[in-house]
Amino acid sequence: MSFKLPKLLYSYKDFEPYIDRKTMEIHYEKHHASYTNNLNKCISGTEMENFSIEKIMKKSCCCTKTTTLRNNSGGFYNHNLFWEILIPNYDYTDPSHFMTNAIVKDFNSFESFKNQFSAAAINRFGSGWAWLCIKEKKLAICSTQNQDNPIMSGIGCEGYPILGLDVWEHAYYLQYQNRRSDYVSSFWKIINWKKVEENYKKLINNSCSG
């Protein structure tokens, strides 16, 4: 089995003015495509050809090809999730009453959640991601370096992600330069809360989330 670049459900320009068309194009066609191709090369001829991406990421922390496998399996998975939880601003809707209540239950208020998540993204030194995860059947926020992912073991950010923000410079630098905080602020205007809620509901009653 080989992994394939997912088809996007929108065009590159659909996120303007929050993310510019050129950034979307390069991010998807160059960076995500590279992670996908390198992942397939890394697992070619191994037992991992028949593994799910989640199983590969878990194995990447104890494999002789650790760095290559870890970076590219994470890069493939992380971007798949990222594209899914984005929605063009003209289709944006606020989180549902159900999702808002779930967030408030674990963070006291939506504003507190938003501030904590934004801080995790802005304060991540260098390249990495900010995550909203399910851990022990509760929502939790953390960040990872490079293309690490909460599903990987031993990284200090264990959980199952339902929302992720890419804070590598390739995700925003053409438009925002060093203004990462502006990019993070724009992110809140293009989150697909229906998909985040779908991810939440799928995992919250699953034994793997706790």
Tens-digit pLDDT profile for residues 107-121: 999 999 999 999 999
β pairing state of 138-145 and 160-166: unpaired
Which pTM value belongs to this model? 0.94
Write the class of the CATH domain 90-209: alpha beta
All structural domains of the chain with their residue ranges: 20-87, 90-209
Greater confidence (4 vs 66) lies with 4
Mean pLDDT of 152-161: 89
Q: For the beta carbon of residue 7, count every other beta carbon within 10 angstroms.
A: 6
- Note whether 20-87 and 90-209 share their fold: no
Q: Work out the pLDDT band at 58, boundaries 50, 70, 90.
A: confident
Residues constituting the chain: 210
DSSP letters, 40-81, are HHHHTTSGGGGS-HHHHHHHGGGSTTHHHHHHHHHHHHHHHH
Q: Residue 86 gets which letter from DSSP?
A: B
Q: Is 8's pLDDT higher than 80?
A: yes
pLDDT of 210 > 60? The answer is no
Task: Please state whether beta strands 128-135 and 160-166 pair in parallel, antiparallel, or not at all (unpaired).
Answer: antiparallel
Please report the pLDDT score of residue 62 as a whole number. 52
Digit-coded pLDDT (tens) for 64-120: 447 899 999 999 999 999 999 999 999 999 999 999 999 999 999 999 999 999 999
Homologous superfamily, domain 20-87: Fe,Mn superoxide dismutase (SOD) domain (1.10.287.990)
> What digits encode the pLDDT tens for the residues 10-48?
999 999 999 999 999 999 999 999 999 999 999 999 999
